[in-house]
Structure formats: C-alpha cells, structure tokens
Amino acid sequence: MAELDFARIFEALPSPFMILDRDLCYVAANSAYQEVVGTPFDRLKGQNLFALFPNEGEAGERLRQSFERVLATGKPDTLAYINYPITDADGTVTNRYWTAVHVPLTDSDGTVQHVMQNTVDVTDLVRMREATTLPYGSISAATRLIERTRETEASSAEFRRLFQQAPAFFAVLSGPTHVFTFTSDSYIKLIGGRNVIGQAIAQAMPEIVEQGFVELLDRVYSEGHVHAAEGARVMLENEPGQPPKETFLDFSYNPIRDGAGNITGVFVQGMDRTESVRAARRQRLLIDELNHRVKNTLATVQSIASQTLRSTSDFAQARRSLEARIMALSNAHTMLSDRHWHDAELGHLVCQELSAFGDEQVDYGGPALVVNAKTTVALALVLHEMAANAARHGALSVPEGNLAVRWHRDGEGQLVLEWIERNGPTPAETVRQGFGSRLLRMVVTGELGGGLDLNYDQNGLRARLSIPATAYAEQEARFD
Amino acid sequence: MTSAGRRVLVVEDETLVLINLEDILEQLGWSIAAQAMRLPEAERLASSVEALDVAILDVNIGGAKVFPAAQILRERGVPILFATGYGRDGLPPEWQDHAVIAKPYSQADIERALDRLLGADV
C-alpha cells in the first residue's frame, strides 16, 4: 500500500488551511488559503501573521487570544465569527468575515509546536444575513455557529456541548414535517422533559398545532425568511401530564440551508421570558395600586383638612385637631402596612385611640376580631372622632366620667361595638351635629352598610354600631 | 352657571371624600338628590331617583366597579362625571368618551368639570 502524501493532501484541501509556529509566523499554507488572502506562499513564509495582516482592533485581539489559548492549553479553540479585513494583491482592502478553528500540533513530548488554522470565509453569508432583519445580534451569531457546525464536522462535538448546555434554548427541526434532530437541555426543560428526538413537532407537541406554530414553521421552511417574536404567549405543556401553561417566549425560527442554499430544516432558538413577563405584570399592578392608594389618601386628607378648618375659627384648635386626625389615619396605615394591607384586629384599633386615657376612666374589651383594610381605615377615623369628642365634650372631659367600649360578633356574624359614656356632662347640640357625628353616621350606615343607635342622654353618649360581616370580613379590599 | 335647585346623584364609597364632595356641591348651589356608598344602592338609586341633571360616580366602590349603575344612567340619558384616583386610565375603553375627574379634586375642579359637561351657559 502506497504511503499517503500528506503534504499533497494538505495542499489539495478545498478549505483554507495554514500552520503557524509558536511566534505566529507562517510555516505552511495551502493554495485555498493563499487564494483567500490574495498572497502567494513565498510572501507568507516566515512572516508573522500580525505583521503581515495588522489588526489593532477587537478582532485582532480575539484572534491573538485564540492562538495564545491553543499554545497555552494544547486544546483546539474556535472563533465562530470574526471580522477581519484583508489586503488583496492589488492593495485594495476588503472587509471579510471568518469562522476559524485553531488546532494544536504537538511534538512527541506533547508540547505545542504549531497551530493549524482552518478558516471559512463567511462574508457572503454575513451580507446575506445583514439583509434580513434580525431581532438581536446573538441570533445571527448563533445561526452562523450552527451553519458552521454543518460545514465543519471536526468541531461539531464541541458545538453540540455548547448548545446543549446553553441557558437559551435551541432545537433543530429537519425536513418539511419538522422532525426534531437536536434539542438543548433548556428546550427539553421548557417542554416538560418530553423526549421528542426523531418525532415530527406536530406529533411530539400537539398543543402547539392549533396555536399556529406549525404553520409558521411551514412558512419559514418554504419561504426561507426568519420569523422572530418577543414575549410571545405560548400555551406549553411544561410539566408532564399537566394541562398546558401560559408561557412567554422570545424566540426565532431560522431556516437552515445546505451548501447549495437549499433549506433543509429550521433552527429554533429563544429564551423563556415567563418569569420576567409575570414580574413586570405584578409590578405594574402594584404601581397602579400604590398610585391609586396615594391619590385616595390625599383625597381623604384633603377632606379632613377642609372639614377641620370649616368647623372652627380657632386656628390653634384647628391645628391640634388636624394633626390628631392625620395621626389617626397614619396609625391605621401603619397597622395595615404591618399586615401587608390586608386586615387589622379591632382590639388594636380601639387600643390605639384609648390607650392615652387611664384605666380608671376607660375600660374596653372584646374577642379577637379581624377586620379588612377598608373597615380598618374607616373605624380608625370614627373611633378617633368619638374619643376626641369624649375628651373635649363628653365623659372624658370631667374627672368623674368614664367610658366603656365592648365589642363582639353576634349570631348573624355582625360586628357589634358598644360605646357607653357615664357620668359625663349632657352633650350639647353642637356635638350632635358636629363633624364627628356626621362621620360616624356616614361610615357606619353608608360606607359599611350597618346600623347605628345613637343616644345622647344626661350621662353622655351611648352608641351601638353593628356592621354586617360582608362589609368587614377579610377580602381583597380595594380603596377608591 | 346657575346650579340652584339642580339635582345630582353622588356615588362615593369613602366617607370623608363623600363629605367633602357634598360640601363642594352645596357650595356650588347643587341639590344632592341622592347618594350611595355601595353598588346595590347605587344601582337602585340610578333607576329610581327622578329628575337627575347629572351623576358623579366614583369608579371603584367597595371592591366593585360602578359601571352597572353607570349603564342604567346612560340609558336614562343622565350625564355622568366619573371620579377616580386613576384618572382617565381608570376607565375601560367603552367608557373612555365620558368625563373624568381625577382625585383629589378641588371645588374649582368640580365646578369646571360640571360646566364642561353640562355647558356653561345653562
């Protein structure tokens, strides 16, 4: 059997090959390479690559680093895509794009003596790609990677691993029925761990058929355009045996072409955006809700200020009342904020308003009773007005007066609160018609749809508030 | 504009805001024909209170939307002014062509909004 003449084979390879020594000087280059760089080998031989083809830019740096990696690690290195201008024999500079694989050539000790480079000029491919609209740069780079993979089987294992483990998802569909021939780990996770290799997509993932994705693939396959979508809503069976779930994807379908330019399949890639889409939705809702609450709180404060200023011409008194009312509102908000604006306990609300008075004058108690946020704010203001009135005009305005507050839940689930003042002065007509009374009546009978018994006798105020369960019970309360 | 004796229906679920609105409307010479703080009452009043010149409706009332009551008023041909902390964004598309006032509002805001809605020369 005749010895194979490797030098001749090297020379005859249709793809450009060249070999550099450790100083990055040319020791060999086949004719395909000489043709591509427009330079005969006698002008390459012994010359430093970067001296001959200077490139101070990022591309030159990447190329140099790739060679250094090969020299340092003894492992092949691949540049999927590199922009590198070439000066032709006649001196004209043309901008060209390359895919380069760098392979170490070692001596018997395993020391890297040479680096062999195989390049593929992908300039035409890049220009073709630039003519189509791509949603983001990584798509075209990734497409080139796959196309490069098809051209250079030598490094396909490396590419495969790269794609297999990538955080973005990838799949390769082959032929007119879109049969899965490759799926990345992240793609498998996205589709609920289904083993789809070797199956047509319509059989492997029946849930996407009526969502129009197979038709889309058909169009990409037959027309050769790129289909890209951002934040597309897809119902996907992403847990085994579970009904399809709403998923949001950035994805693209890119046609895969063979050497002759015929479409052989579709390259699928994308990112699962479901979490970020949901997070953005939640955030939007929260911002709207916050804005809404702030506006309503301002409307409430506006009303408090207006009512306070209208009720007296004594500015010192108006200031004290205004501060106290705003503090009562603020305390209710603090209480709600501590419980994520859900609810508060009635006992805490009563305690907040009455704790300033001594035990010998004020007595209150009742079972633990949780009320929703709306009722919390409403009752906080009402209890504040009742306490303020008692202190200024009622039983708590005289040393011998006292107040008892009792609450319970009655047989119909109503919240019943009794406010009983004793040994106080007889309430004046102004108190009965004042802001506190008006607020009390409107909150209890209007806002909370409950019942109110008000009794002003010579002992002071006796009030019985009954609030239906539908009004105070825990719920998703909103404010407006 | 002379509002004396003209009748307004008010729907607002927050007591303090309602108190403020009542006072504003009285200052402007309006007569409050009826007021509701909850949706069932609002619907009942929307169909039963006679001779309404205008309705001022809070959009969110006690966790519900006021639109069923608004629908009744629209069918009766009663002009509607919506009030909401969301401003115009708080209205769904089918109600977008109605007048809106953003909370919080002043007496002058209410006066202007009603003038624009009903015509200043009434």
Look at A1-5, A177-181, B1-5 and tell me which has the smallest mean pLDDT.
Answer: A1-5
Out of A302, A447, A480, whose CB is closest to B15?
A447
Determine the Cα–Cα distance for residues A343 and A477; give it in Å rounded to an integer: 9
A320 interfacial to chain B (CB closer than 8 Å): no
Query: How is domain A287-472 classified at the CATH fold level?
Result: Heat Shock Protein 90 (3.30.565)
Out of B19, B41, B58, whose CB is closest to A307?
B19
Q: How far is B37 from chain A (nearest CA, A)?
A: 5
**pLDDT in the model for residue A301:** 92
Residue of A255, A68, A267 whose CA lies nearest to A184: A267
pLDDT tens for A58-97 read 888 888 999 998 988 888 888 877 777 777 667 777 777 7
Q: How far is A457 from chain B (nearest CA, A)?
A: 27
Q: How many CA atoms lie within 13 A of A190 on its CB side?
A: 28
pLDDT(A132) > 60: no
A73 interfacial to chain B (CB closer than 8 Å): no
pLDDT tens for B27-86 read 999 999 999 998 999 999 999 999 999 999 999 887 789 999 999 999 999 999 999 887
The DSSP bridge partners found for residue A463 are A419, A454
Size of interface A-B (CB pairs under 8 A): 89
- Give the domains, in start order, of chain B with CATH numbers: 7-106 (3.40.50.2300)
Structure tokens given for A101: 């694989």
CB contact under 8 A, A295 and B104: yes
Q: Do domains A6-121 and A287-472 have the same CATH topology?
A: no
With cut-offs at 50, 70 and 90, classify the pLDDT of residue A124: low
CB contact under 8 A, B85 and A299: yes
**pLDDT in the model for residue A74:** 86
**Average pLDDT of chain B to the nearest whole number:** 90
**pLDDT in the model for residue A89:** 63
Burial of A350 (0-12, 13-18, 19+ CB in 10 A): buried
Superfamily of segment(s) A6-121? PAS domain (3.30.450.20)
A441 interfacial to chain B (CB closer than 8 Å): no
Structure tokens given for A306: 């207006």
Query: How is domain A142-272 classified at the CATH fold level?
Result: Beta-Lactamase (3.30.450)
Structure tokens given for A356: 């300033």
CA nearest to B36 within chain A: A446
Out of A304, A447, A476, whose CB is closest to B37?
A447
A295 interfacial to chain B (CB closer than 8 Å): yes
Determine the Cα–Cα distance for residues A126 and A140; give it in Å rounded to an integer: 8
Tell me how long chain A is.
Answer: 480
pLDDT(A133) > 50: no
pLDDT (mean) for A117-142: 57
Residue of A353, A433, A418, A419 whose CA lies nearest to A387: A353
A439 interfacial to chain B (CB closer than 8 Å): yes
B86 interfacial to chain A (CB closer than 8 Å): yes
**pLDDT in the model for residue B122:** 45
Complex ipTM: 0.83
**pLDDT in the model for residue A236:** 92
**pLDDT in the model for residue A128:** 53
Q: Which residues of B touch A291 (CB under 8 A)?
A: 85-86
User: Distance of CA A384 to CAs A163, A297, A391, A417, A457, Å?
Assistant: 66, 17, 10, 14, 21
Ranges of each domain in chain A: 6-121, 142-272, 287-472
CB contact under 8 A, B63 and A475: yes
Buried b / exposed e across A209-227, counting CB within 10 Å, b at 16+? eebebbeebeebbeeeebb
Out of A296, A439, A446, whose CB is closest to B85?
A296
B30 interfacial to chain A (CB closer than 8 Å): no
> Checking phi first, is residue B110 left (phi over 0); if not, alpha (psi -120 to 50) or beta?
alpha
CA nearest to A373 within chain B: B62
Q: Which residues of A touch B16 (CB under 8 A)?
A: 299-300, 303-304, 307, 381, 439
pLDDT tens for A146-165 read 555 555 544 556 656 667 77
Q: What is the CA radius of gyration of chain B?
A: 13
**pLDDT in the model for residue B88:** 81
DSSP A442: I
**pLDDT in the model for residue A29:** 92
Q: How far is A218 from chain B (nearest CA, A)?
A: 37
Tell me how long chain B is.
Answer: 122
**pLDDT in the model for residue B4:** 67
A480 interfacial to chain B (CB closer than 8 Å): yes
Q: Which residue has the higher pLDDT, A382 or A344?
A: A382
Q: How far is B67 from chain A (nearest CA, A)?
A: 14
CA nearest to B19 within chain A: A303
pLDDT(A118) > 70: yes
> Residues A188, A183, A149, CA angle at the centre, nearest 5°?
155
pLDDT (mean) for A280-307: 86
pLDDT(A15) > 70: yes
